[in-house]
Structure 1
Amino acid sequence: MLTQLFFFVVLLFLLRKYAWGPLMNVMKEREDHIANEIDIAEKNREQAEKASKEAADELKKTRQEAQHLIDEAKKAGQKQEQDIIAAAREASERIKQAAQEEIQQEKEKAIKALQDQVATLSVQIATKVIEKEINAQDQEKLINEYIKEVGEER
């Protein structure tokens, strides 16, 4: 029994030295490797969360900038619309004023032409009256003829 105990102790010693030590070293390396992988995974997760948060913040900022640009474009469009309307009103007012001036000029020309015709007719009537002495009936007839002529010339 002592021999068996001796061999058992020797066997334990040999197992510990050649089997248990390397096995424990392999297990320790495996444990360290797994712990290292867990740490790396945790760091990667934290970096991913940080990157996700940064991306969300950047997206929010971009949306705000886009909304700001849209608002500015709307304001610029409204201002341009108002400017175009004001310019159109000014142009229509100028055209209206020019048309009124032209109408007034044409009216004055027509009045002047009518005055000239009346003066010419008056001279012609006076000439005819002087050329021939006529009674009231003939004079009335002569005036009606000249009025008729003036109406036809028009």
Structure 2
Amino acid sequence: MLSNHFVLGASTGFNSGDAIFQLVMFIILLAVIKKFAWGPLMGMMKQREEFVASEIENAEKSRKEAADYLEQQRALLKEARSEAQGLIENAKKQAEVQREEIIVSARSEANRLKESAKLEIEQQKEQAVAAIKEQVTSLSVLIASKVIEKELSEKDQEKFINDYIQEVGEKR
């Protein structure tokens, strides 16, 4: 029974050696954890923190670049619209100038054709007058020769003149 009591006494009493041993083991365990687990864990946490900060910084930089790019594209679009409007206006002005040139050219050509036609008509008229003069001359000679061949009375002369006028009218 004595041995039971000894065991019971050991379990109810405070053993300072065990407590110190457990405390030393706990401190050693903390040092080992700090060296092998806590340090790398904190390093990983620091790396993760730097990575997240870098990603946030990159995202902000990308957002700013996208906004700048959007503004550039808007400016380029505005410039392109302005340039297109200028091209349209220029094309309209050029078309107006060409239209005026075509009108002036057409009028000039019409005047040239008109003058050419007038000259041709004048030449035709002169040729017709010359032909008529030639016919009148030949008929006059013919009449004169007939008159000379025979002396005509006043009535015969009128008849020759009327015949002559009629003959000239038919040849026209």
TM-score (norm 1): 0.82
Deviations 1:22-53 (A, max 9, x none): 32222122111111111111112211221222
Matches within 5 A, 1:35-74: 35-74=53-92
Distance 1:22 1:28 in 2: 10
Q: Does 1:84 align with 2:102?
A: yes
Bigger CA radius of gyration = 2
Residue 56 of structure 2: SS of its match in structure 1? helix
Residue 150 of structure 1: SS of its match in structure 2? helix
Distance 1:88 1:78 in 2: 15
Deviations 1:114-149 (A, max 9, x none): 223223222322222222122232222222322332
Matches within 5 A, 1:58-137: 58-137=76-155
The one-letter amino acid paired with 1:62 is A
Structure 2 segments unaligned to the other structure (5+ residues): 1-13
Distance 2:30 2:111 in 1: 116
Residue 33 of structure 1: SS of its match in structure 2? helix
Given candidates 27, 34, 39, the residue that maps to 2:52 is: 34
Greater CA deviation, 8-17 or 101-110? Answer: 8-17
Structure 1 segments unaligned to the other structure (5+ residues): none
The one-letter amino acid paired with 1:24 is M
Q: Alpha carbon RMSD of aligned pairs, Å?
A: 2.4
Distance 2:50 2:64 in 1: 21
Instruction: Give me the identity figure in percent.
Output: 48
Once the two structures are TM-superposed, the CA of residue 86 in structure 1 deviates from its matched residue by 0.7
Once the two structures are TM-superposed, the CA of residue 83 in structure 1 deviates from its matched residue by 0.9
Greater CA deviation, 76-85 or 137-146? Answer: 137-146
1:139 alignment counterpart:
157
Count of aligned pairs between the two proteins: 154
Over 4 Å off, 4+ runs: 7-14
